[in-house]
Chain A
Amino acid sequence: MNAIAANRRHPAAAYVVLLLALVSVGALYAALATPSRAATAIGSSTQVDQGKSLFAEGCSSCHGLNAQGSGVGPSLIGVGAAAVDFQVGTGRMPLAQQGAQAVRKASIYSDTERAALAAYVASLAPGPEIPSASMVDAANADLARGGELFRTNCAQCHNFAGRGGALTNGKMAPSLMNATPTQIYEAMITGPESMPKFGDGTMPVQDKQDIINYVHNLQNSPNQGGAALGRLGPVTEGLILWTVGLGLLIAAAAWIGAKAR
């Protein structure tokens, strides 16, 4: 006690007290706060075990043996089952190679294996769950409102028709043409890569369903004006004009000019 009393006016004393206070509050919070959602998210123990061994095989070289992360991959503690389902389901994980952007490709895991991986990661710490079928159901969605929400929140990166767009330094917002309703929902709640997170506080479930419905519509809508040129805007239109359009006109001019000889 004397040693503490002797050092109570030491310049670092205030910081030590602050640190002790923060640690104790944190410890109290961890002890008292109930992980309500985590309890339901954790699958059966055999599924978790299967997921753990799959994880050790396919994921741990980057994310660490206990998913704690490493120099080349982030920690997965607390990312939730939704993030795993999205990243593995769209084939982005495991990565083919390190790079600015993980690209969509065929998934190497079966649905059962994916579920096991998700269950294992969810068992580590609570996080966003895989949305249920009813959550992504667009039966009550408002298409026009979905369009407005899409143009306000999504189009600036994913383009007006969901065809994707460029971001800085080789990153990009991918095309949404192959995204399933569940994957769109998961992307919104987990915010993969450069994408911001749209939690239920900022974007209610109904809004998400409207957006999912609109994207579904973009994937299937007819091209009222003829060939859509990738729905990329005036760049492809200009390309067609200078190649096909002007090419045809100049060929016609050459034909008319040549006939006279």
Chain B
Amino acid sequence: MSAIVDGIDSTIGYADDRLSSAGFLKRNLKKVFPDHWSFMLGEIALYSFIILLISGVYLTLFFKPSMTEVVYNGSYTILKGVKMSEAFASTLNISFDVRGGLLMRQIHHWAALFFIASISVHMCRVFFTGAFRKPRELNWVVGTLLLITGILEGFAGYSLPDDLLSGTGLRIAEGIVQATPILGTYVSFLLFGGPFPGNDFIARLYTVHVLLVPGLILALITAHLMMVWYQKHTQFPGPGRTEKNVVGYPLMPVYMAKAGGFFFVVFGITTLLSALVTINPVWMYGPYVPDQVTAGSQPDFYIGWLDGAVRLMPNWEINLWHHYTLSLNIMIPAMIIPGLLFTGIALFPWLESWVTGDKRVHHILDRPRNAPTRTALGVGTIAFYGMLWLSGGNDIIATTFTIPFNTITWVLRFAIFIVPPLAFIVTRRFCVSLQRRDHDKLLHGRETGRILRHPSGEFTEIHASISDAERAVIMSKQDIIPIASPLASDAHGVRNPAGVIGRVRAGLSRFYYGPNIALPTAAELEAAATHLEHEAHSAVPVIEREARLEVTGGGGVLRDPGPDGQSGHNH
């Protein structure tokens, strides 16, 4: 450790001689980060974004965001002489005539998928460990906004090449815009500069994709990281870890080396995948023509669940006075469901603390099992998302597994209401069982697998007390007290005006905390320790005897040489 500190000091000294920055650097380079693999998931997203910036800049050098019709005359002979937009022609040019262009396109596209996938997984980690709790609620909201802007940015990029698939995607996006009550048609005309597809949209989308949204993402990432820096990283429970310290390694050099190295690992894996596996072969799709479409038209995975929701929705429409159509068939799956989901995600920290009444500051993470209801809510939501994903790929599933398309749709129409609650119940039950197991470990120790036969003939298994590290982790569970229901009326019989909401809140709080298993009391723990010590004592002769045993006969026979080393057996 002293070598590390020396390393930091020499670095700070070098900079201070030139920049007088010792104070700043000393404070920040020695900043400690806790270590856990799951804390690096957010880093994958950050590095993917850097890869996206680098590869994206390269692509802008050759991409022409124009809907002007041209006749293709490049080296991909299969499309030679075909009329297409300049946007599509330049994408073909990047793929076949620009040096490294196809690799760059594939790196850009794979990195975009990594960006959103890693944000999603990172968010799951933050959710299931309760890292969003006070004081980090605002950073959770910034993270949610990053997910939403990431999805928008991805969809914009997917649409730019103006190939058959992206044009189909835009056509659906246009339909969703038009489904907005009252405003839909106007907004659609405004966006596309007239009827779909028009001549303006690609150029407009380009500005959104390379300037507006990336700028927004960059600003949000900056805010996100500054908040992490200022609030310090959370840590998992363990010996010596408290709400007031951070146990880990200093930024310089350990964490910097790890994080820097991980950047290259991420870049390397992205490049490897891009070099080996095709993504979005636009030359196969051909240019977008509004009267063409391909079977199996799908969006990228992060839009797939919305596409799935649209596919699942029955075709309900309300027609008012034969003049106004309310497209419930599009509005509910494509606007209301994502609206509710993202609002629920963004507001979850406040919703949870309202229900639990927990206003404490948390730097130690929850173990998912210790918050059974939250964990179950998360798994239920993932199940919901998963059902929509399956629905989004229903045609590919139908042909791959020869299941009728309609059967899949009908099964999923029921499953979307049945599976998430089921996942909730099962997960909550699992968490409680794990808590019970922890409880057992504290009181009875761990099972050693050694069976003791008493002189009375009774068999018992020897238990040993768990390690201090494990004990510290288990004991990290915080006391929880559900909110008490407010009195309906006071001593004078006056009705409590806050009674109804208060009772609802208390009910939710009981629901949230209901199944939790309380930690053993100090007296119980002491009794358990004494018992375990006694048990360990009674096991000493057995363990000593075991140590003397010789294994013979190819491991089949245990021979006891006797107490004084002589053979105890005379056969």
Chain A interface (Cβ < 8 Å from any Cβ of B): 100, 143-145, 147-148, 151-152, 155-161, 163-170, 172-173, 214, 217, 221, 223-229, 231-238, 240-242, 244-246, 248-250, 252-254, 256-258, 260
Contacts and interface: CB of A to CB of B under 8 A. Distances in A.
B299 interface: yes
Considering the complex of A and B, which 7 residue pairs feature the smallest CB-CB distances, nearest first?
Answer: A165-B295, A257-B37, A225-B278, A238-B301, A170-B404, A166-B398, A160-B294
B37 A155 contact: no
B233 to A, nearest CB: 13
A158 B274 CA distance: 27
B404 A169 contact: yes
For chain B, give the interface size range: 35 or more
B524 interface: no
A156 to B, nearest CB: 5
A235 B396 contact: yes
B278 A227 contact: yes
20 contacts: A144-B78, A145-B81, A152-B292, A156-B293, A159-B295, A160-B284, A166-B295, A217-B78, A224-B283, A226-B277, A231-B281, A233-B165, A235-B392, A241-B113, A242-B117, A249-B118, A250-B37, A260-B35, A260-B249, A260-B258
B396 A232 contact: yes
B40 A256 contact: yes
Contacts of A169: 404-406
B142 to A, nearest CB: 22
Contacts of A227: 276-278
B106 A225 contact: yes
A249 B289 contact: no
Contacts of B106: 225-226
A94 to B, nearest CB: 20
B81 A256 contact: no
A249 B82 CA distance: 41
Contact of A155 (B118, B261, B278, B292): B292
Nearest to A240: B277
Contacts of B500: none
A246 B121 contact: yes
Contacts of B281: 223-225, 228, 231
Contacts of A234: 165, 280, 298-301, 304
Given A147-B82, A234-B298, A238-B304, A165 B289 contact: no
Given A147-B78, A227-B277, A237-B300, 14 more contacts: A144-B78, A144-B79, A148-B82, A152-B292, A156-B292, A170-B403, A224-B96, A227-B276, A235-B304, A242-B117, A249-B114, A252-B265, A257-B35, A260-B258
A253 B37 contact: yes
A244 B299 contact: no
Contact of B110 (A147, A214, A231, A241): A241
B558 interface: no
Given A144-B78, A147-B78, A234-B298, A168 B277 contact: no
Contact of A237 (B280, B284, B406): B280
Contacts of B266: 249, 252
Nearest to A217: B78
Contact of A165 (B399, B403, B406): B399
A136 B44 CA distance: 53
A245 B405 contact: no
B399 A166 contact: yes
A258 B80 CA distance: 53
A173 B304 CA distance: 23
Contacts of A161: 284
A144 B285 CA distance: 13
Interface of B: 35-41, 43-44, 77-82, 95-96, 102, 106, 110, 113-114, 117-118, 121, 164-165, 249, 254, 258, 261-262, 265-266, 269, 273-281, 283-286, 289, 291-301, 304, 392-396, 398-399, 402-407
Nearest to B398: A166
Contacts of B117: 241-242, 245-246
A253 B295 contact: no
Contact of B80 (A144, A165, A221, A250): A144
A110 to B, nearest CB: 29
B241 to A, nearest CB: 15
A231 to B, nearest CB: 7
Contacts of A228: 278, 281
Nearest to A142: B81
A124 B336 CA distance: 60
Contacts of A155: 164, 292-295
B296 A235 contact: yes
Given A166-B295, A231-B284, A260-B249, A246 B114 contact: yes
A229 B41 contact: no
Nearest to B295: A165
A163 B82 CA distance: 23
Contact of B113 (A147, A214, A237, A260): A237
Nearest to A218: B284
A206 B269 CA distance: 47
A236 B393 CA distance: 9
A237 B81 contact: no
A245 B110 contact: yes
A252 B269 contact: yes
A244 B284 contact: no
Contacts of B249: 260
Contact of A252 (B81, B262, B279): B262
Contacts of B300: 234, 237-238
Contacts of A233: 165, 294, 296-298, 396
A39 to B, nearest CB: 40
A100 B407 CA distance: 13
Given A156-B294, A249-B266, A223 B40 contact: no
Nearest to B72: A144
Nearest to B279: A237
Contacts of A246: 114, 117-118, 121
B40 A257 contact: yes
A241 B285 CA distance: 21
Contacts of B394: 166
A143 B77 contact: yes
Contact of A172 (B36, B37, B118, B398): B398
A162 to B, nearest CB: 10
